[in-house]
Amino acid sequence: MALIDYHYEMSHCHRCSYCKFIPFQLIKSKRFSYLCPSISLRNFHSFSAGGRAALGLAVVEGRLDEYTDMMKQIVFECTMCGACQVQCRTFNFNLNPIEVMQALRTHFVEQGEMMPEHMFVIEGLKREDNVFGEPKKHRGDWAEGLGLKDISREKVDVLLHVGCRMSFDDEFWPILKMAVEIMKSAGLSVGIAGAEESCCGGRALEMGFEGVFQNFAEAMAGRVKASGAKQVVTLCADCFGTFNEHYPAYGWALDAEVVHITQFINNLISRGKLTLKNQVPMAVTYHDPCHLGRRGEPGVQWKGEYKRLGPHLFGPVPEKPIRLGQSGCYDAPREILEAIPGVELTEMERTREYSWCCGAGGGVLEAFEEMAEAAASERIQEAEATGAKALVTACPWCERNFKDTLEITGGDMKIYDIVELVHQAIGG
CB of 159 to other proteins, least distance (A): 32
63 vs 137 by CB, closer to other proteins: 63
Site residues for other proteins per CB under 8 A: 8, 11-18, 21, 23-30, 33, 39, 42-46, 50-52, 54-55, 57-58, 63-66, 68, 70-71, 74, 86-87, 89-94, 306, 308-316, 319-320, 322, 324, 326, 352-353
1 vs 283 by CB, closer to other proteins: 1
CB of 351 to other proteins, least distance (A): 11
CB of 118 to other proteins, least distance (A): 18
Report the DSSP pairing between strands 231-234 and 190-192. unpaired
74 vs 125 by CB, closer to other proteins: 74
CB of 200 to other proteins, least distance (A): 27
d(C-alpha 232, C-alpha 129), whole Å: 19
14 vs 126 by CB, closer to other proteins: 14
CB of 54 to other proteins, least distance (A): 4
151 vs 372 by CB, closer to other proteins: 372
**3-state DSSP of 356-392:** CCCCCCCCHHHHCHHHHHHHHHHHHHHHHHCCCCEEE
CB of 82 to other proteins, least distance (A): 13
Q: 405 CB contacts (<8 Å, ≥6 apart)?
A: 359, 372, 373, 376, 377, 380
**Do the Cβ atoms of 88 and 95 come closer than 8 Å?**
yes
d(C-alpha 197, C-alpha 387), whole Å: 40
15 vs 126 by CB, closer to other proteins: 15
What are the C-alpha distances in Å from 87 to residues 256, 306, 348, 352? 31, 21, 18, 13
